[in-house]
């Protein structure tokens, strides 16, 4: 009878490395979840802002439509109602009187401003007249501009001429290409 043998294997496993790995993975997942939450919040905020802008535009359009309608009705009323026409005329007179008072008050300052502008323009003109290089510089600049334009026009003319020459030579070029094609076909045939 054969003896049965039993073997027992004992193994000790150090699970601390696995535990550390799992802990790091959990920490990374928490960080990713937090980032996703912030991204979601930003996306929601951007969508809310866009919706608010669209709402503001719609409200603005409604207010503009109402304002246009009020203006239209006011024009009709002031054209066909004597009391409304008188009120509109009185408002225009009041505007005229108000603007006249503003002009009287600001007149001296506006006059000084206009005089300062005129003096600055006069000083610029005097400087330009006293500059001995300004005239020759302008002439040189104008000459360079004209030469540049002439050069570009010449190149454009060359391109147009080349295109016209190509159009007149095109049938000959096509014949040469056909002949080359036939020659290549003939070379491939046995003798």
Tens of pLDDT, residue by residue over 157-171, are 777 766 666 566 666
Q: Return mean pLDDT, the chain.
A: 79
Dist CA 63 CA 69 (whole Å) = 10
Tally of structural domains, the chain? 1
**Range in 73-77, 105-109, 117-121, 178-182 the model is least confident about:** 178-182
- State which of 110-114, 137-141, 157-161, 168-172 shows the largest mean pLDDT: 110-114
In a domain, residue 164? The reply is yes
pTM of the model: 0.35
Supply 78's token pair.
């002031």
The DSSP call for residue 5 is -
Q: How many CB atoms lie within 10 A of CB 70?
A: 10
In a domain, residue 2? The reply is no
In a domain, residue 163? The reply is yes
**Range in 38-52, 63-77, 96-110, 126-140 the model is least confident about:** 38-52
Signed CA dihedral, 125, 130, 135, 141: sign only? negative
Supply 106's token pair.
């600001």
What is the pLDDT confidence band of residue 62, given thresholds at 50, 70 and 90? confident
pLDDT at 50: 79
In a domain, residue 143? The reply is yes
Task: Judge whether residue 43 has pLDDT over 60.
Answer: yes
In a domain, residue 144? The reply is yes
Supply 164's token pair.
């016209």
In a domain, residue 126? The reply is no
**Residue 159: which domain range?**
134-185
In a domain, residue 102? The reply is no
Say which residues have a Cβ less than 8 Å from residue 87's Cβ, sequence separation at least 6: 78
Dist CA 48 CA 56 (whole Å) = 12
Task: Judge whether residue 120 has pLDDT over 90.
Answer: yes
Task: Judge whether residue 28 has pLDDT over 60.
Answer: yes
In a domain, residue 64? The reply is no
pLDDT at 110: 95
């Amino acid at each position: 009878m054969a003896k049965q043998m039993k073997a027992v294997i004992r193994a000790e496993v150090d699970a601390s490395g696995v535990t550390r790995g799992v802990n790091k993975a959990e920490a990374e997942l928490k960080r990713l979840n937090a980032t996703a939450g912030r991204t979601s919040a930003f996306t929601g905020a951007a969508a809310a802002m866009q919706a608010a802008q669209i709402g503001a535009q719609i409200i603005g359009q409604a207010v503009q439509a109402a304002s246009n309608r009020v203006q239209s009705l006011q024009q009709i009323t002031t054209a066909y109602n004597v009391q409304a026409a008188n009120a509109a005329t009185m408002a225009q007179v009041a505007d005229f009187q108000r603007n006249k008072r503003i002009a009287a008050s600001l007149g001296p300052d506006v006059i000084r401003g206009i005089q300062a502008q005129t003096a600055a323009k006069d000083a610029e003109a005097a400087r330009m007249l006293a500059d001995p290089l300004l005239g020759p510089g302008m002439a040189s600049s104008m000459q360079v501009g004209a030469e540049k334009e002439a050069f570009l026009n010449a190149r454009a003319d060359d391109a147009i001429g080349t295109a016209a020459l190509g159009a007149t030579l095109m049938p000959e070029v096509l014949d040469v290409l056909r002949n080359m094609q036939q020659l290549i076909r003939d070379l491939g045939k046995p003798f």
